[in-house]
Amino acid sequence: MGAEVIINKDNFEVEVLKSDLPVLTDFWAEWCVPCKMVNPILEKIAEDYRGKLKVAKINVDECGEIASQFNIFSIPTMLLFKSGEVVQQQVGAGSRQAIEGFFKDHI
């Protein structure tokens, strides 16, 4: 993983809630096939939007309390945080164009 940030319960507040940049969080799991399909797209978005958008990966198996806090029942689910608040939510895998459309108005 290059430009993406790996989130855990210890860094969630600093990396997501207190981030100066909008944060696209990807709730995923190792066993989730659609999650694996969307991962290369998110890696490229993290590189292409470096300095404008932070892409954060949250493994639901390791961070179940964070997933529960935001009512994540299906994965992949992407939440867009801006100034510590969820401003967008998307459930399911999507194309790069669909994912960019999800956050473009917020950067």
Catalytic residue numbers? 32, 35
Q: Report DSSP letters for 19-63, one per residue.
A: -SS-EEEEEE-TT-HHHHHHHHHHHHHHHHTTTT-EEEEEETTT-
CA distance 40 to 104: 19
Q: What are the structure tokens assigned to 95, written together?
A: 């194309």
